[in-house]
Amino acid sequence: MTEEPTHRVDHDGAVATVTLDRPDALNAQTRASRRALVKDLRALSADAAVRCVVLTGAGRAFCAGQDLREEGALENVDDMIRETYIPIVEALVGMPKPVIAAINGAAAGAGLSIALACDQRYMAEDAVLMMAFSNIALVPDCGGSWFLTRIVGYARAFEIAASGRRVGAEEALALDLVQRVLPRDELSAATQTAAHELAARPTQTLGWTKRLMRAAEQSPLGDVMELEAQLQPAAVGSSDHAEGVAAFLEKREARFEGR
């Protein structure tokens, strides 16, 4: 039996858009949907023609987290997390190119964790973020506690997680949980414009920048400066660096190719 696709991947030039596509379940995720997602995220990671990824949801939600109707979802939950949730986060964080979440509607539970694992978040003005885990007496997973604490600090992160309340767009922007808030009907176009702009930047170097800044969140200054010293020779040797310097000296726009 062929399984229904649970997300789709659309390509437009160097931008790939991954749309979680179970709208009747608010794009809640099952074990099978997460396996399929991991596979495609890894493929996008390896595809040099893709220079920016957008992650969004079909219908009125971004992602409601775990599908609470999935039979057997809680069997061997620790292994399930290791096998399917953690690899999604690792694929997004380790993606050697920018990933923008276009939060078109509710991002709840692991759905919020997944959005927080992206590099940037654009949010529809009527969308909500929810650390829904405590509402069903679960602890945060999929990296949610790590990302939220780093972005908003311990006290605010704990309050949001413990209450399980809805965080609206205005508050999310003020807390830097999202970088832009847009009317719902403008979200997709604005995200695509930003994605195409990012895709025209020196992609390989942005991948290394991601790596450095993620390391900076958890490593001492000396370690990060050492990693900078290790990565800079590769950046210096890149054709995009040569193009960037040439464009600067010739007073023209650089045409980066991502390598």
Report the interface residues with ligand T3D, using CB under 6 A: 25-26, 28, 61, 64-69, 73-74, 77, 106, 108-110, 130, 132-133, 135-136, 138, 141
Distances (CA, A) of 24 to 1, 6, 27, 57, 58: 21, 11, 7, 11, 9
Shortest Cβ 245–ligand T3D spacing (Å)? 47
For residue 175, the minimal CB distance to ligand T3D (Å) is 18
Distance of CA 191 to the CA centre of its chain: 13
The distance of closest approach from Cβ of residue 114 to ligand T3D in the complex, given in angstroms and rounded to an integer, is: 9
Residue number with CB closer to ligand T3D (144 or 258): 144
Q: What is the DSSP secondary-structure string of 150-178?
A: HHH-HHHHHHHHHH-PEEEHHHHHHTTS-
Residue 211 in contact with residue 223, Cβ under 8 Å?
A: no
Neighbours of 13 (CB within 10 A): 13
How far is it, in rounded angstroms, from Cα 246 to Cα 250? 6
Q: Which is nearer to ligand T3D, 16 or 89 (CB)?
A: 89
Burial class (CB in 10 A: 0-12, 13-18, 19+), 137: exposed
How many Cα atoms sit within 13 Å of 150 on the Cβ side? Answer: 14
Q: Cβ 77 to ligand T3D, closest distance in Å?
A: 5
Q: What is the 3-state secondary structure (H, E, C) of 117-143?
A: CCCEEEEECCCEEECHHHHHCCCCCCC
Q: Which CB atom, from 94 or from 168, has the smaller least distance to ligand T3D?
A: 168
Which residues are CB-neighbours of 149 under 8 A, at least 6 positions away?
A: 157
Q: How far is the CB of 88 from ligand T3D (least distance, A)?
A: 11
Please state the closest distance from residue 144 (CB atom) to ligand T3D, in A: 8
Contact by Cβ (8 Å): 80, 134: no
Q: Which is nearer to ligand T3D, 84 or 205 (CB)?
A: 84
Query: Shortest Cβ distance from residue 91 to ligand T3D (Å)?
Result: 17
List b or e across 234-248, with b for residues whose CB sees 16 or more CB atoms inside 10 angstroms. Answer: ebeebebbebbeeee
Nearer to ligand T3D, 16 or 172 (CB): 172
